[in-house]
Amino acid sequence: DAKTTQPTSMDCAEGRAANLPCNHSTISGNEYVYWYRQIHSQGPQYIIHGLKNNETNEMASLIITEDRKSSTLILPHATLRDTAVYYCIVRGADTGRRALTFGSGTRLQVQP
């Protein structure tokens, strides 16, 4: 699975959009981009995933660049409860049973 690079930490004001970038320049054609988050000491929580099209669900939006070498997770209206570590993970479509590999993630602090 391709390696990902994320900023170590980010701040965001409550009520504003949080845009979390992820670089995955070695991604291959059949690899998906997954986003998970971990609120302090809780189990990682699935947010969203995508292959090449932009995706949106009730939690967030995922924007993937046309060359697929980077993506951005957007939390449209961040709240204090969104303070967490956000992990961007790349995994192949044909390795659905392979374990997710967590990198360092981005620690998002939502400020009141």
Partner 1 sequence: AAGVIQSPRHLIKEKRETATLKCYPIPRHDTVYWYQQGPGQDPQFLISFYEKMQSDKGSIPDRFSAQQFSDYHSELNMSSLELGDSALYFCASSFRDRPTAFGPGTRLTVL
Which residues would be at the binding site for partner 1 (CB under 8 A)?
34, 38, 41-46, 49, 85, 87, 93, 96-105
Nearer to partner 1, 7 or 103 (CB): 103
Residue whose structure tokens are 């391709």: 2
Nearer to partner 1, 14 or 49 (CB): 49
Going 15 to 89 to 33 to 68, the CA torsion angle's sign is positive
**In the complex, minimum distance from the CB of residue 97 to partner 1, in angstroms, rounded to a whole number:** 5
**In the complex, minimum distance from the CB of residue 28 to partner 1, in angstroms, rounded to a whole number:** 16
**In the complex, minimum distance from the CB of residue 38 to partner 1, in angstroms, rounded to a whole number:** 8
Q: In 66-104, which positions are buried (b, 16+ CB within 10 angstroms) versus exposed (e)? A: eebebbbbbbeebeeebbbbbbbbbbeeeeeeeeeeeee
Amino acid (one-letter) located at 66: E
Nearer to partner 1, 70 or 87 (CB): 87
Going 51 to 52 to 58 to 59, the CA torsion angle's sign is positive
CA distance 75 to 59: 7
**In the complex, minimum distance from the CB of residue 104 to partner 1, in angstroms, rounded to a whole number:** 6
